[in-house]
Structure 1
Amino acid sequence: MPLEKVCIIGSGNWGSAVAKLIGINTQRHGDLFEKTVRQWVFEEKVNGENLTDIINREHENVKYLEGIKLPENVVAIPNVVDACKDATLVVFVVPHQFVRGVCEQMKGHLAPNARAISLIKGLEITSSGTRLFSEEIERILSIPCAALSGANIANEVALEKYCESTVGCPNVEDGQIFFRLFDTEYFRINVIQDHVGVQLCGALKNVVAVGAGFSDGLGYGSNTKAAIIRRGLMEMRKFGQMFFGDMVQTETFFESCGVADLITTCSGGRNRKVAEAFVTTGKPIDVLEKELLNGQKLQGTLTSMEVNEFLTARNMTAEFPFFTTVYRIVYKNAPVESIVRDI
């Protein structure tokens, strides 16, 4: 069988940590993967030098994952078409607002038998409906797309601290290929077929983390934070059941992509961090994003706005008091104390 040609689309904090995993595994499973891994890196200047040149010389993404060496078989490429040319396995790790534009550039350049996997923790939600990013990738590129999500803070994964993650892939055979692409002794993969639930958890948990950050900023303590996490998990599950029906399995919420990722994100993720600073500094969210995230994007606040737009169009905001309260605090100047008073 021809070897799989792997391409990574994205090179931020998480994309760089994933590149380390994939670079190691393509060498370890030489019977399945080509050794060279091409990674599309959005070109930036770092101290007057192209970031791609630094990565290819130093084997380190000095901007987004400083101090972590990448395998030498990971090659940074600044042009997305060059990076994805004839790839058979495409790993998407870009902020969700860039998915459509990047896929449009890639169209027609992949191998005929290409498959993709989305590591994007988001969900396109508008007043007219919802769309998974795997569906957007499938629609534009006409290829099947699985999903990976879990309790995976990028820096800890890069430092090889033990964790788990969940691959959702309807095709069992492809699921086993993705298992071998990602699974290591410290990054353990469980493959399930519920790719919808995997992505739904990855999107909605960011909204819950914003609420947890509000609680931390107010100094409310562990009991309150636990209550907020529980309420958030219940609304995540309710949203899945109400709007996706049998496509989302209850068991998925007990995978790493579900409750484990929720706990991790509410303890140490960027959404919690910025939400806490929102309370303690009084600064707007967009200002804090620029100050605290080193160019990364905040997902939870945007998702809360999209969820509210979706629910408002259906006159269902009262059915989801937690999600609605997070939105009102961020965008409608509701008192931060509403996070416990109004849910």
Structure 2
Amino acid sequence: MLMFVCKQGQPIRLKGFDMNHPATHAQGKPQAIARIRRQYPYNNVVMIGDGITDQEAVEATGGADIFICYGGVVERQNVASRSDWFVRSYDDLMRCLKRYKVAMVGSGAWACAAVRMVAQSTAEAAQSPASCFEPEVTMWVHEEKHSGRNLTEYINEHHENPVYLPGASLGENLIANNDLIETVRGADLIIFCAPHQFMHGICKQLAAAKVVNRGAKAISLTKGMRVRAEGPQLISQMVSRILGIDCSVLMGANIAGDIAREELSEAVIAYTSRDAGVLWQQLFQRPYFAINLLADVPGAEMCGTLKNIVAVGAGMGDGLGIGPNSKASILRQGLSEMRQFCKYISPSVRDDTFFESCGVADVIASCYGGRNRRVAEAWCQRRMAGDQLVSFDDLEKEMLNGQKLQGVLTSDEVQEILEARGWELNFPLFTTINRIIHGEVPPDMILRC
């Protein structure tokens, strides 16, 4: 007895054999199937056998979904003719199982920490003949030079990104490619982890090249949104609309360096299709990286976006030298405005989402350890010391080694929405942070908003 997730009758993923349900007599088979259904409600059940009672276990009410007739020992024509699939060997069965090809779009610190986990999972899965993943993972790298060499060449030789995640082995099964189209070509599972301001162009380029498989699935690790005249568009919505594929999101308290050191971390995968969520969970979950599944894509994604604004505010507070009580007030007000903004934009957002890793946990991690906090602290200190010309752009180049600062851009995008809809007074912290960024009010206004 084994279980697959199936699509249009074709077995695409072996879930596993279950040896805990005896089926040594005819009535044992329907009972075993019923127990398996209760234990795995989202999987289809496949019966493999060569006898009439095996066939009857499929045809009975509540029976298995697919019957594979095995003719490797005894071939019974009357049973084979009624089967969904006929095989003569176990190897035939394994060869027909689809394996997913995985591609990563992005090569910054978080992208490398994430693809490192993915490469570990696919390498381990390759040891099983029933693996559902191709062992090789491709990663698109925006080409640049490192020590006189192309960064892609260095990564492929040393299995490390020395620019954005130095010292972390990405795995020998990770292949870097500077060609976006070739990286994604033929991929079944596409992970997006590029700065959000570049995502629209990336999706348009992929759509024009027509390289995305029709049945492919995507997941976004990108934190941000696109502002349009008709309203904000989340990155997952952009991917789905432009590429025509399902897009889940992975969000949480995920500082890249901590995860690369395999420190205990967690995240949520929010999905529209639970089957897709379970598949992504298989790919990302590691002994040091726990995944919870959540049926709230807009809530999880907006939390991951808005927390960057709160982190900028927390960094400003740190630059002023405030104590823990004052900083806690900024975090509390920030989380409250995050929830309110999410509800205004998408009333279906669930309250319990804010208690997941993508909510309060991500706010805490970002406001104490993220790059938005760190740059905002330095900016505020320089301003308070009299340097009125220092800009966030300057500090991004000086401090982030080529990485992008998301909080300032996100603040501008959210402020555009607040002003367009007349919501500024309802979001005093978000509005004050944006005005401080643009020099309209002094930094200490963060304590009086």
Give the superposition deviation at 1:160: 0.2
Does structure 2 conserve the Cα–Cα contact (< 8 Å) formed by 1:7 and 1:83?
yes
Task: State the one-letter code of the partner of 1:14.
Answer: W
Task: State the one-letter code of the partner of 1:262.
Answer: V
2:318 corresponds to 1:216: yes
Distance of aligned partners of 1:216 and 1:127 in 2 relative to their CA distance in 1, 3 Å threshold: farther
Query: C-alpha distance in 2, partners of 1:193/1:4?
Result: 23
Give me the TM-score of the superposition, normalised by structure 1: 0.98
Q: How does 1:296-307 map to 2 (within 5 A)?
A: 296-307=403-414
Structure showing the higher helix proportion among its residues: 1
Give the superposition deviation at 1:127: 5.4
2:111 corresponds to 1:15: yes
Give the superposition deviation at 1:242: 1.6
Give the superposition deviation at 1:28: 2.0
| The 10-residue stretch of structure 1 (180-189 or 117-126) with the greater mean CA deviation from structure 2 | 117-126
Give the superposition deviation at 1:157: 0.4
**Which 5+ residue runs of structure 2 have no aligned equivalent?**
1-11, 13-97, 384-389
Correspondence for 2:441: 334
2:410 corresponds to 1:314: no
Q: SS of the residue aligned with 1:34?
A: strand
Give the superposition deviation at 1:270: 0.6
Correspondence for 2:58: none
Task: State the one-letter code of the partner of 2:245.
Answer: I
Q: How does 1:181-220 map to 2 (within 5 A)?
A: 181-220=283-322
Task: State the one-letter code of the partner of 1:297.
Answer: K
Correspondence for 1:75: 175
Give the superposition deviation at 1:103: 1.4
Q: Percent identical across equivalent pairs?
A: 46
Give the superposition deviation at 1:29: 2.4
Query: C-alpha distance in 1, partners of 2:434/2:194?
Result: 24
Query: C-alpha distance in 2, partners of 1:215/1:206?
Result: 14
2:28 corresponds to 1:28: no
Correspondence for 1:260: 361
Does structure 2 conserve the Cα–Cα contact (< 8 Å) formed by 1:126 and 1:310?
no
2:395 corresponds to 1:288: yes
**Which 5+ residue runs of structure 1 have no aligned equivalent?**
none
2:148 corresponds to 1:51: no
Correspondence for 1:271: 372
2:432 corresponds to 1:325: yes
Report the aligned-residue RMSD: 0.9
Q: SS of the residue aligned with 1:35?
A: strand
Query: C-alpha distance in 1, partners of 2:415/2:181?
Result: 36
Query: C-alpha distance in 2, partners of 1:127/1:135?
Result: 16
Superimposed CA distance per residue, residues 88-126 of structure 1 (whole angstroms, 9 cap, x where no aligned partner): 000000000111111122221022210100000112234
Superimposed CA distance per residue, residues 294-333 of structure 1 (whole angstroms, 9 cap, x where no aligned partner): 1111111111111111111111100110100000000143
Q: How does 1:102-113 map to 2 (within 5 A)?
A: 102-107=202-207, 108-113=210-215
2:252 corresponds to 1:150: yes
| The 10-residue stretch of structure 1 (230-239 or 20-29) with the greater mean CA deviation from structure 2 | 20-29
Query: C-alpha distance in 2, partners of 1:195/1:27?
Result: 29
Q: SS of the residue aligned with 1:120?
A: coil
Give the superposition deviation at 1:76: 0.3
Query: C-alpha distance in 2, partners of 1:238/1:13?
Result: 30
Q: SS of the residue aligned with 2:99?
A: coil
Give the superposition deviation at 1:11: 0.5
Task: State the one-letter code of the partner of 1:264.
Answer: A
Superimposed CA distance per residue, residues 245-268 of structure 1 (whole angstroms, 9 cap, x where no aligned partner): 01x111100000000000000001
Correspondence for 1:228: 330
Does structure 2 conserve the Cα–Cα contact (< 8 Å) formed by 1:127 and 1:313?
no
Runs of 4+ in 1 over 4 A off after TM superposition: none
Does structure 2 conserve the Cα–Cα contact (< 8 Å) formed by 1:146 and 1:195?
yes
Correspondence for 2:192: 92
Query: C-alpha distance in 1, partners of 2:271/2:124?
Result: 23
Distance of aligned partners of 1:126 and 1:106 in 2 relative to their CA distance in 1, 3 Å threshold: closer
Give the superposition deviation at 1:172: 0.7
Query: C-alpha distance in 2, partners of 1:138/1:147?
Result: 12
Query: C-alpha distance in 2, partners of 1:252/1:170?
Result: 15
Correspondence for 1:101: 201
Superimposed CA distance per residue, residues 11-58 of structure 1 (whole angstroms, 9 cap, x where no aligned partner): 011111111100000122231100000111111111210000000000
Give me the TM-score of the superposition, normalised by structure 2: 0.75
Task: State the one-letter code of the partner of 1:329.
Answer: I
Query: C-alpha distance in 1, partners of 2:300/2:125?
Result: 26
Query: C-alpha distance in 1, partners of 2:427/2:214?
Result: 43
Q: How many positions carry a matched residue from both structures? A: 341
Give the superposition deviation at 1:134: 0.5
1:250 to 339, 351, 369: 351
2:166 to 66, 70, 75: 66
Does structure 2 conserve the Cα–Cα contact (< 8 Å) formed by 1:274 and 1:288?
yes
